[in-house]
A = this chain, B = another copy of it.
Amino acid sequence: MHAYEKIRAEMLHRITRQIWPAGSNLPHEEQLAAEFGVARGTIRRAMADLVQQGLVERRRKAGTRVTARSAHSSTLTIPIVRNEIIASGAQYGYKLLAAEKGGSALDMTGDFKDAPLLHICCLHLSDGRPYQFEDRLINLDAVPDAADHDFNGMSPNEWLVEKVPYSAVRTILRAEAADSAQARYLKIRKGSPVFVIERQTRLDILPVTLVKMSHPSDLFSITTQTSLFD
């Protein structure tokens, strides 16, 4: 174990056991460097992880303070649906439902209003059962190749991920009562709960794609595990 990891573990211990209580200030970098017998840079290396996890806040002149916890933050990973299904040990299935030029009711924010659009609907199945209903807009100004591509063989999800870069993402998670389209394609009763992930990606300021992914609530959940080191 490296020096900075030992120091980080010791600092974590002092924070969680409230030897350094929430709201208090830590010693300066130089004091800590002297205490642990390392260079200042090594203290900074250990500190960087604590900052990233939100356990301490640092400001010039004010020093380093133990954060008063007011939120839980965790990193959430949403895999490509095909990989997710295969990883669960199930058989993956895919069906294109529609692909047509023009807009749809999806674009609530209006970011795509003036752009040439491709509207795609498709279904992802797990062992033959509908797992995700994908409803997507693609901005043909950002992805001209999409206009001529045949999405029967490969889902737009995978095609875009391979082909199109982005620089910003907005993701929304929510629960909804299934409308008639969701109910029909997901083979559930209208009004029953669906887990919805909506995601819009941009490349600089150019909107690239907006997608709404709906899942039957009994098949889908998201789990994240956060361990503060080791």
> Which residues of chain A have a CB within 8 Å of any CB of chain B?
12, 15-18, 22, 52, 68-80, 83, 161-162, 165-177, 191-195, 199, 203, 217, 220-228
Residue in contact with A195 in the complex, picked from B79, B165, B168, B175, CB distance below 8 Å: B175
Main DSSP-derived SS at the A contact region: strand
How many copies of this protein are present in the complex?
2
Contact A71 B76 (CB under 8 A): no
Given known contacts A73-B77, A175-B175, what 13 new A-B pairs fall within 8 Å (CB)? Answer: A15-B165, A70-B161, A72-B78, A72-B199, A74-B76, A74-B171, A76-B76, A167-B227, A169-B225, A173-B221, A174-B195, A174-B221, A192-B193
Instruction: Give the distance to chain B from A79, nearest Cβ to Cβ, in Å.
Output: 4
The residue of chain B having its C-beta at the shortest distance from the C-beta of A199 within the complex is: B72
| 14 A-B pairs (CB sep. < 8 Å) | A15-B165, A16-B203, A22-B162, A71-B80, A72-B199, A75-B75, A76-B76, A76-B173, A172-B222, A174-B217, A174-B221, A175-B175, A176-B217, A193-B193
| Known contacts A165-B17, A193-B193; is-contact A71 B75 (Cβ 8 Å) | no
Residue in contact with A79 in the complex, picked from B17, B71, B192, B203, CB distance below 8 Å: B71
| Known contacts A71-B77, A220-B174; is-contact A168 B16 (Cβ 8 Å) | no
Contact B72 A171 (CB under 8 A): yes
Q: Which residues of B contact A15 (CB under 8 A)?
A: 165
Contact A194 B169 (CB under 8 A): no
Residue in contact with A70 in the complex, picked from B74, B83, B192, CB distance below 8 Å: B83
Instruction: Give the distance to chain B from A226, nearest Cβ to Cβ, in Å.
Output: 5
Bound together, the chains give a CA A224 to CA B168 distance in angstroms of 11
| Known contacts A83-B70, A161-B69; is-contact A172 B75 (Cβ 8 Å) | no
| Known contacts A74-B76, A203-B16; is-contact A173 B171 (Cβ 8 Å) | no
Contact B217 A193 (CB under 8 A): yes
Instruction: Give the distance to chain B from A131, nearest Cβ to Cβ, in Å.
Output: 14
The residue of chain B having its C-beta at the shortest distance from the C-beta of A173 within the complex is: B222
Residue in contact with A174 in the complex, picked from B12, B22, B222, CB distance below 8 Å: B222
Q: Which residues of B contact A203 (CB under 8 A)?
A: 16
Bound together, the chains give a CA A47 to CA B226 distance in angstroms of 23
